[in-house]
A and B are shown apart, each in its own frame.
Chain A
Amino acid sequence: MRAETYTAFSQDIHARAVAQRMPLNGTIEVTRRCPLTCAHCYNNLPMGDGPARRDELTYDEHCRILDEIGEAGCLWLLFTGGEIFARKDFLDIYTAAKTRGFIVTLFTNGTLIDERVADHLARWPPFSIEITLYGRTKETYERLTGVPGSFERCMQGIARLRERGLPLKLKTVAVTVNQHEVDEMKRFAEGDLGVGFKLDAMMNPRIDGSAAPLGVRLSPADVVALDLGDPQRMKEWAEFSARYTTPPKSGDDLYQCGGAVGSFAIDPYGQLSLCVLSEVDKINLREHSFRHGWDEFLGKIRRRKITRITKCTACAIKSICGMCPANGELHGDAESPVDFLCEVAHLRAHAIGVAVPPHGTCEYCEGGASYAAVVATVASLREGHGGGSPRRAGLPPAPRRLPVLGSAPSAACGSGGCSSCH
Chain B
Amino acid sequence: MTRRVAGEVLLIPIRGNVADLASLYVLNETAALIWERIDGRAGSDEIAQSLQEVYDVPGDDAREDVADLLRSLTAAGLVHDAGGPASSEPSQ
Contact = CB atoms under 8 A, between A and B. Distances in A.
B73 to A, nearest CB: 7
Nearest to A6: B24
A25 B70 CA distance: 32
Interface in A1-30: 1-6, 9, 13, 16-17, 20, 22, 24
A9 B15 CA distance: 20
Interface string A65-88: 000001001010000000000000
A218 B11 CA distance: 44
B25 A13 contact: no
Contacts of B26: 1-4, 9
B76 A13 contact: no
Interface residues on B, range: 20 to 34
A73 B6 contact: yes
Contacts of A123: 15
A248 interface: no
B6 A1 contact: no
Contacts of A103: 12
11 contacts: A1-B26, A2-B25, A3-B23, A4-B24, A4-B25, A13-B8, A70-B3, A75-B5, A101-B3, A125-B16, A167-B21
B2 to A, nearest CB: 7
Given A4-B26, A5-B23, A6-B24, A101 B6 contact: no
A95 B24 CA distance: 19
B24 to A, nearest CB: 5
A75 B4 CA distance: 9
A63 interface: no
Contact of B31 (A1, A16, A20): A1
A5 to B, nearest CB: 7
Contacts, number: 68
B50 interface: no
B14 A98 contact: yes
Contacts of A166: 18
A124 interface: yes
A165 interface: yes
B67 interface: no
Interface string A103-138: 100000000000000000001110100000000000
Given A1-B26, A17-B6, A167 B15 contact: no
A22 B6 contact: yes
B54 interface: no
9 tightest Cβ-Cβ pairs between the two chains A and B: A101-B1, A101-B3, A3-B23, A101-B12, A125-B18, A1-B31, A75-B5, A9-B24, A17-B6
Given A13-B6, A13-B8, A75-B5, 8 more contacts: A1-B25, A6-B24, A73-B5, A101-B10, A101-B12, A101-B14, A124-B14, A167-B21
